[in-house]
Amino acid sequence: MIIIELVALILTGTATSAFAREISMKDGGPVSWFFVIVGVIIILLQLIPATILFFSSIGTTSAIVFRGKKTIEESSAEMTPAYEPARAKR
């Protein structure tokens, strides 16, 4: 507990107003622009699977709502194939 209090005291003591300054992108170099562009690309690439997931969930939900409930006989008829047992050769 003493260690946590000591770390908290050190962190609050180093947080001065010198770190709270205004930063403009005009003063930023090419490296900062590179990180901004890479971050934007990562966010845009995450939109692709999010869109696919969104529309698949909309399709699944609408299929369940508009199709209605099936009876047990209808659902079991779809699941069991109409195969005949194979006969053994003698």
| Measured distance CA(57)–CA(63) in Å, rounded | 10
| Measured distance CA(7)–CA(13) in Å, rounded | 10
| Measured distance CA(59)–CA(65) in Å, rounded | 10
Task: Tell me the per-residue pLDDT of 7-56, one tens digit each, with 9 for 90 and over.
Answer: 887 877 766 665 666 666 676 778 888 998 999 999 999 999 999 999 99
pTM score of the predicted model: 0.43
